[in-house]
Structure 1
Amino acid sequence: MKRVGIIPNFTKDKNLDLTKKIIQWIEQHDGEVLLQKIDAEKIHRKDLAYKADEIYAYADFIIVLGGDGTLLGVSRRVGKNETPILGVNLGHLGFLTEVEIGDIYQALENIMADHYALEKRMMLEVAVFNNNKLVKTFFALNDVVITKGAFARIINLKTFIDNNYLDTYPADGLIISSPTGSTAYSLSAGGPIVDPKNSLLIITPICPHRLNARSVIISDREKIRVEIEDRKNDILLTIDGQEGYKLQDEDDIVVKKAEFSANFIRVNHRTFYDVLRNKLAERTVLHKDNV
């Protein structure tokens, strides 16, 4: 018997009708469903209620209903459990979700029969230090972004690779991205596209006030330390575009490869380059429509 966690999406599955159909299918195929308490109560199935950390620890795999944003959040919360995740797309085609609504039951049949592959994605560990003391730790799948506030001036970001000084970027901010995040904010800021099967870190300045400031790619064995020279500025640390943390005076940020990975279930033969080609074509059409 497989234990299946389900993370619904109240916005895209408003009455949780799809969620209820998936639960029925799993139970009819001798599976056990795990839901967060609030989700179980909404469909009157308190017998399926678990704490969130119990779902991530006990489930054999987790179905995430929604889009790339929902999947990003779940990837961070799964964390060290490394529980496999199946992303089901309820919106526009994304880079992370694996199957469309119409293909969900065929995908589940394959998974229940152990006919699937796991794709490991590098995670980032982000530590905030104040006067050399650790004050906060985050994990990210896509990226870590240091940005100035809405009314702040340009900030100067003194950047080191291990103990080696790299550069000081006068910019609106700095993106430190994983390969998975290379097609997100980093790409919009002029960063390179990287196959997510690789393991490396990408440093991309945001609107740098210097013509020779470019993206830098480094090994996953190295760590990045950023010192903010403009201590009195309003500066924000953002994790995957979903979590925010206001940086204090004397804070330094250290980013490195996390000790664990995100595991995505793959049942299709679609490659990263297939998705990339389709997404780039989609963006081209949108651009033409707006011209």
Structure 2
Amino acid sequence: MLDTIRAVEVVDKPGDEDARDLAHTMRDWLKSRGVAVRCWTNQLGSNSRARSVEPQFKSDLVIVIGGDGTFLSVARQLPQPSPAILGFNLGKVGFLTELCPGAWREALAQVLEVGVAVHQRMALGWMIRRGGSPVAAGKAVNELVISRGNVAKLAVLDIAVQDERLGALRCDGLMASTPSGSTGYAVSAGGPLIHPDVDAYCLTPICPFLDTFYPLVLPCTRRTEVTLLPCRSEVWLTIDGQEGWPLQTGDTVQIEGLPRALRFATLQGSNYLQRLKVKGFLHRNADPGLSWQEYGCEAAAPIPPTAEPPQDPHE
């Protein structure tokens, strides 16, 4: 729980004038209520970093105006542990950015009056090792995907978890997703929904060929290493669907959980399971409290009584 908000960063989606205008309006509104505010525009592009460090400005809350993609990009740039991050949705799905821009004054008034609920969320740390030496590293909020390039040839990946080799996998790719990312690409690939209070991540194969490898949920303390074996396809590591690194044969991608790396803010009363239902991840027909009339079903026709068997005329 974060009760007192004294300093806020407001981040808008690049190239979106509505987001920019709303950010400036929020800034003026917050300043008029005694809150220190810093505004900046997120940047697109591989490995971009838009957030400059200002040691004298320590924010309690980061407000993101955009879609889930903007939210992910900003979250990766925040220090660890991060200030709480709250999203206003100008995108399509809005699972991470759950607040409506049309009611921003009411939402921010509630934030200043009673604070926000803060939820600790894990991230994934990643490192590419080439010839035994690190060549790139970072963190992911939703998922890491190791996948083939634009030629439809299989990638061949050797997988080990905490030094226990699981074997080689021929596939379009392999995904490691956090609980926050389990409602994104992962669920489309057949991965499970993982409650965000669980410190675990899931390995999900993407179109494995003649291999049996079911989605595997691992504690965040377990390290996974994926080594690229010789194959006839380009293979990339993609971070949150936004940053990409080309891999070479023999490269190893090291993946490990980062518990409590992020702090997501919600208004009090927000409910994760309810949000799953609203966004269509849990359907109405899973609600045992609905009657058959509420399902829109017709009453079943009565079963006719069993007819008497015909009499044998020869009896």
- In structure 1, the residue matched to 2:164 is 164
Please tell me whether the aligned partners of residues 4 and 62 of structure 1 are also in contact (alpha carbons under 8 angstroms).
yes
Q: State the alpha-carbon separation in 2 of the partners of residues 149 and 109 from structure 1.
A: 47
Identity %: 29
Please tell me whether the aligned partners of residues 98 and 267 of structure 1 are also in contact (alpha carbons under 8 angstroms).
no
- In structure 2, the residue matched to 1:24 is 28
Tell me how far 1:8 sits from its aligned partner: 1.0
CA change 1:248–1:277 in 2 (3 A) is same
Please tell me whether the aligned partners of residues 98 and 265 of structure 1 are also in contact (alpha carbons under 8 angstroms).
no
Give runs of aligned pairs for residues 1-291 of structure 1, distance below 5 A: 2-14=6-18, 16-36=20-40, 52-54=52-54, 58-151=58-151, 153-210=153-210, 212-230=212-230, 233-258=233-258, 260-280=260-280
3-state SS of paired residue (1:277): helix
Q: Which runs of 5+ in 2 are unaligned?
A: 44-49, 285-315
Tell me how far 1:33 sits from its aligned partner: 1.2
CA change 1:2–1:24 in 2 (3 A) is same
Q: State the alpha-carbon separation in 1 of the partners of residues 221 and 282 from structure 2.
A: 35
- In structure 1, the residue matched to 2:47 is none
Number of aligned residues: 274
Q: State the alpha-carbon separation in 1 of the partners of residues 15 and 132 from structure 2.
A: 42
Letter paired with 1:264: F
Which deviates further from its counterpart, 25-34 or 75-84?
75-84
- When the two chains are superposed, the root-mean-square deviation of aligned CA atoms in Å is 2.6
Tell me how far 1:283 sits from its aligned partner: 9.5
CA change 1:143–1:37 in 2 (3 A) is closer
CA change 1:212–1:248 in 2 (3 A) is closer
TM-score normalised according to structure 1 size: 0.86
Q: Where do 4+ consecutive residues of structure 1 move more than 4 Å?
A: 281-284
User: Which of the two has greater helix per residue?
Assistant: 1
Letter paired with 1:96: L
Q: State the alpha-carbon separation in 2 of the partners of residues 68 and 204 from structure 1.
A: 21
Q: State the alpha-carbon separation in 2 of the partners of residues 73 and 56 from structure 1.
A: 23
Q: State the alpha-carbon separation in 1 of the partners of residues 41 and 185 from structure 2.
A: 33
